[in-house]
Amino acid sequence: MATKPAPAAKPKEPVKRVLASNRRATHDYHVLETEEAGIALSGTEVKAVRTGKVQLKDSFVEFRDGQAWLVGAHISPYSHGNRENHLPDRDRRLLLKRRQIERFFGRTLNKGMTVIPLEVYLKGNWIKLELALAQGKKLYDKRQAEKERELDREVEAAVKGGRW
């Protein structure tokens, strides 16, 4: 009697642990598409990021010499670092394939389009950055979104309170 071979084990997807997010981005921009990128960090930067000492507020991606750079992100100095500690506001190179860089750069040539970071997270042992191609919102778009959120809250409260 022949036995069935055991099914092949599926490789586990690494767990994603968010270290920092840019909550302001969805308020100021319409997110059109997202992409995952690596980020080139120095030794003490890695330790600081793993402890969550990252701020993405007012940061964006700039394209120089065929490379993508993260500008304006603040990584606080590592508390146990020595004199070799990193500069908190330096520009950091993003690790993207050439086609991804060219596609993002081509799309940002359109008026009002930019690439912004949404969140920094750990994927396995690797520090990754979620980038978004985004278009800036006008003031009336922001007001409309706020009205929709307020209406959704009222409906949710009415349904939850049994008044519906």
pTM: 0.77
Q: Is the dihedral of CA 11, 17, 22, 27 positive or negative?
A: positive
Is pLDDT above 90 for 65?
yes
Over 70: is that where the pLDDT of 1 sits? Answer: no
What average pLDDT does the segment 84-93 reach?
88
Domains in the chain, ordered, with CATH? 17-146 (2.40.280.10)
> Each residue of 120-135: pLDDT tens digit?
999 989 999 999 999 9
**Cβ neighbours for 97, distance < 8 A, ≥ 6 positions apart:** none
Residue with tokens 């050439």: 98
C-beta separation of 104 from 68 below 8 A: yes
Mean pLDDT for 86-109 is 93
Tokens linked to 52 = 């969550």
Q: Which of 61, 62, 90 is nearest to 75 (CA)?
A: 90
* Residue linked to tokens 């992409």: 35
**pLDDT over 70 at 163, yes or no:** no
